[in-house]
Structure 1
Amino acid sequence: MSEPLSVALNRDRLHDIDVRERYAAGGPFVVELTNHGEAMHVHLHLDDRLSEVAELAANNHYVEEGDTVTVEVGANPRSEPLTGKLKVVTGYGAQTAYVDVTVEEHAPSKSPIEVDEDLARPQRRTQSTRNRSRNRNGSGLDGLREEYAGGTLAVAGVGVLLLLALLGVGLVVDGALVLVAVGMVVGALLVAAAVMLR
């Protein structure tokens, strides 16, 4: 919101109006009516041109002695500034003052975020960055070895148990079929170990 437009009433004499001649706002603003003397009625009016972009919350106001009344003025800035007149009347027409009010074009409330040009260029990955990334993701060779070490031991354990069971069966049965089965188990164990240790 823009700074208030201050209007001093009854400062020098009854019904006196002391206000600046020009005022600019970048959007909604308030008119502050400060009474320095006897209680009085104040009328505010926007001319046709100013009414295109601004609107008063209320036109007629009663201001007590020593009191300040705040009047809201809604304003919708356009792409170009617009100037019109605000009329201030006291004592039912005893005194009148005009203020040239310019509603300026809307300025963005937030400044755009500035981005350093270096951030727009792709960053080169250093060896230490790659190593950190691999360790975090577990995608480096060390990570794979650690990940599969437990699996390799489990497969080897199961393979040894199968091998011992087949040898036990071979001693009891004594046949060529048992030797073929033992060869297949040993071959499968070797293939599994080679794949996991790659």
Structure 2
Amino acid sequence: MKAVCFDTPGKPDVMKISNCGIPEINDDQILIKVKYAGVNRPDIIQREGNYPPPPDHSKILGLEVSGYVHKIGANVKNFKKGDKVAALVNGGGYAEFCSADKETTFKIPKNISLKEAATIPECFFTVWSNLILRGKLKEKQKVLIHGGTSGIGVAAIQILKLYKSEIFTTVGTNKKKKIL
């Protein structure tokens, strides 16, 4: 399998295409045939050596992917081979195949392309985890979002609108203010 890796942190030119084995999956994981991978700030600063990856991370870059289910673990019941999916992963996304936990994988609706779906997991899972799961967001609460035009900010605003929240946001420039 081909994958994008790097040996030493640095600028984009440290990345190289390498051959490596297809990842193994455990009983709670899905092996995805990757079609698209998103690029986020954590991907860039990880490559630069300024963002420590999780202890169980892949040596391959890439934190969000879309593609097709290639194989499922024994405890995975809601997915089957061939399903169109996107996932948030602990690295490994810049490869032909990637392992993903079933909890951070979702089926892509028919009206969303694989290309579009690859941009969803990192921002939306982060926002959902922080606002809904940890923050226990309730309808019509007042919420301040810093960096309203960032990927996380835009995702937060969209979710907050679903909760009929009163949204306050900061931006860094007048140009960004006009976007909102």
Q: Which has the higher contact order (CA 8 A, sep 6+)?
A: 2
Structure whose residues are more often helix by fraction? 1
Q: TM-score range by the shorter chain?
A: under 0.3
Give the TM-score of the pair, scaled to structure 2: 0.19
Flag the structure with larger Rg.
1
